[in-house]
Amino acid sequence: MKTEYLEGPLLLYPEGKRENTLLESNPQKELYRFFASALMGIPKSAVEQLLKESEDHSCRDAPEICVKVKAIANLPTLYGDYQAVAFWNNFDKKEHAAFVHGNIFEKEDVPVRLHSECLTGDAIGSLRCDCREQLVESLARIGKMDRGIVLYLRQEGRGIGFVNKIRAYQLQDAGFDTVQANEKLGFRPDERDYDIAAHMLMSLHVKSVKLLTNNPDKLKDLQLHGINVVARIPVVMPPNQFDKFYLETKQKKLGHILDIEQRDDLAAYPHTHNSD
């Protein structure tokens, strides 16, 4: 069932039902019927199987990291029809999520983006990094494909947490680059781990992936944890005057594969130069 979108307040309705939806005396009832019947991706039988497997899953083979699917719901977005998958794990106790477009259950070559949480970028629109742009680009691209997944991992600040990320920003304001700032705080340049991400993909019965990333370490880490990565899809965003140095540092010191070209739409933005 195709979803259409109306201008103004966001209303959803099955194709061909516009007049009924607009004139419905109880629009909430129409939405309920839509969500109850729509199959936005993973089939109902597979959803039930995933939830049942997690309910019965005891993680005997890898008790140090146990990941379970706790809930799955339809999630229409500005970028297409998705399903939100909520996960529980016993390792970091954080609530990681998968946003699934299309049927990925038991599928091969599934496009996957591993996106680490970035409050300042994702929610506030910070220009010190390209996180929000990469998230939106990935959701939009996958929303146009037959299937795909955005894993949203609660690994703020490349794994150092929000408070330490802002401390790192302070150091960057004083002239350190993003790697130097992490090291001065006592951290590795990148503290993230993708073991949980691999378990999430396994829990969803994904057989192989095409990884949307500029970071070769993500690809290697997923492979190390048993995920079959068959291809890499670049997600290079043009830099602005505030994140250009940050992106150059990631390219030079962290090995990110970037073809950086300055964007000019923010060239006259009235702020001093900063970097993430």
Q: Where residue 106 sits, what CATH number does that domain have?
A: 3.40.50.10990
167: in domain? yes
Residues of the chain with pLDDT under 70: 1-40, 58-63, 259-276
- The pLDDT assigned to 112 comes to 97
Q: What gap in Å lies between CA 198 and CA 222, rounded to an integer? A: 6
| Residue 51 within a domain | no
66: in domain: yes
- pLDDT for 14: 46
Q: The tokens 């309910």 sit on which residue?
A: 55
Q: What is the pLDDT of residue 99?
A: 97
**pLDDT at residue 143, as a whole number:** 95
DSSP conformational letter for 174: T
pLDDT of residue 222: 93
Please tell me the predicted confidence (pLDDT) of residue 8: 38
Say what the pLDDT of residue 49 is: 94
The C-alpha atoms of residue 226 and residue 31 are separated, in whole angstroms, by 40
pLDDT score for 217 = 86
Domain housing 237: 62-253
43 in any annotated domain: no
**264 catalytic, yes or no?**
no
pLDDT of residue 252: 80
Distance between CA atoms of residues 210 and 147, nearest Å:
11
Candidates 192, 195, 221, 243; catalytic one: 192
Instruction: Identify which of 233, 210, 205 has the alpha carbon closest to the alpha carbon of residue 222.
Output: 210
What tokens appear for 223 in the block? 């492979």
> Residue 108 and residue 91: Cα distance in Å, rounded?
27
Q: Is residue 45 part of a domain?
A: no
Give the per-residue pLDDT at 60: 65
CA–CA distance, 36 with 1 (Å, rounded to integer): 12
Relative orientation angle of helices 195-203 and 216-224, to the nearest 10 degrees: 60
User: Is residue 23 domain-resident?
Assistant: no
Q: Is residue 243 part of a domain?
A: yes
DSSP 241: T
Under 8 Å CB-to-CB from 116, ≥6 apart: which residues?
A: 131, 153, 155, 156, 158, 159, 192
pLDDT of residue 17: 47
Residue 113's SS3 state is strand
Rounded Cα distance between 52 and 67, Å, is 13
pTM recorded for the entire structure: 0.79
Is 263 marked active-site? no
Within 8 A by CB and 6+ apart from 259, the residues are 236
Torsion sign over Cα 89, 117, 236, 77: positive
Count: domains in the chain = 1
Catalytic hit among 81, 122, 130, 190: 190
Strand 110-116 versus strand 209-212 pairing type: parallel
**What pLDDT, on a 0 to 100 scale, did the predictor assign at position 145?**
94
Is 272 a member of any domain? no
